[in-house]
């Protein structure tokens, strides 16, 4: 197992199926602020659902099509970041994130996402990393900006949540642009 020190008592490391109980407790703390943005959050409402979410990402990692990482702050899981998709043939990945209120205001998502993007470009040779978020998720689009991504498009009503269609933004950075 590896751990990336994010500073200030925070660490980034793999989030795996055996973390299901800890993940569920975290999701229960984060649910109100995470549910509107992350499609799998509401499906992780009990131990079975939490384990299934983590297993889905473990299976994706085994196929090299996605990965999931947790962010621990002073030993407590407070959020994470992931490769929602990871395609080595086309050289494109989508990155995503979530964070409970206890972890906000520390730059944890930006630091963690920077590590994932750097790894995708430098170690895996990908060409493009995308960031998708709803247009009303200002915190998420602010992270994309801090990462130096370019806003490329707004997709109209492509994200369905809680009976309503929402618009989404697509941000991206290319390997030659990554400093």
- pLDDT, tens digit (0-9, with 9 covering 90-100), for 131-157: 999 999 999 999 999 999 999 999 999
Q: Would you state the pLDDT for residue 147? A: 97
According to CATH, what is the number of the domain 4-177?
A: 3.40.630.30
Half-sphere exposure of 82 (CA within 13 A, CB side): 24
What is the average per-residue pLDDT within 167-178?
A: 97
> Greater confidence, 85 or 161?
85
Distance CA 62, CA 50 (A): 19
Distance CA 39, CA 35 (A): 7
Q: Would you state the pLDDT for residue 4? A: 94
Please provide the DSSP assignment of 43-97 as one string.
T-SSHHHHHHHHHHHHHHHHHTS-EEEEEEETTEEEEEEEEEEEETTTTEEEEEE
Query: Hey, is 112 helix, strand or coil?
Result: helix
H-run or E-run covering 174: strand 164-174
Distance CA 23, CA 17 (A): 9
């Amino acid at each position: 197992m590896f751990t990336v020190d994010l500073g200030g008592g925070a660490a980034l490391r793999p989030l795996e199926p055996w973390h299901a109980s800890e993940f569920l407790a975290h999701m229960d703390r984060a649910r109100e602020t995470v549910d509107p943005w992350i499609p799998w959050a509401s499906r992780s409402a009990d131990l079975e659902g939490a384990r299934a979410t983590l297993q889905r990402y473990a299976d994706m990692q085994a196929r090299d099509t996605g990965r999931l990482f947790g962010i621990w702050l002073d030993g407590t899981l407070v959020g994470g970041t992931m490769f929602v998709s990871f395609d080595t043939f086309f050289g494109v990945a989508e990155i995503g994130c979530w964070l409970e209120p206890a972890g906000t205001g520390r730059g944890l998502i930006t630091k963690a996402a920077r590590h994932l993007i750097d790894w995708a470009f430098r170690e895996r040779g990908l060409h493009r990393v995308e960031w998708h978020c709803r247009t009303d998720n200002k915190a998420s689009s602010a992270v994309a900006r801090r990462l130096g991504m370019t806003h490329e498009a707004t997709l109209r009503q492509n994200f369905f949540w809680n009976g309503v269609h929402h618009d989404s933004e697509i941000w991206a950075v290319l390997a030659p642009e990554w400093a």
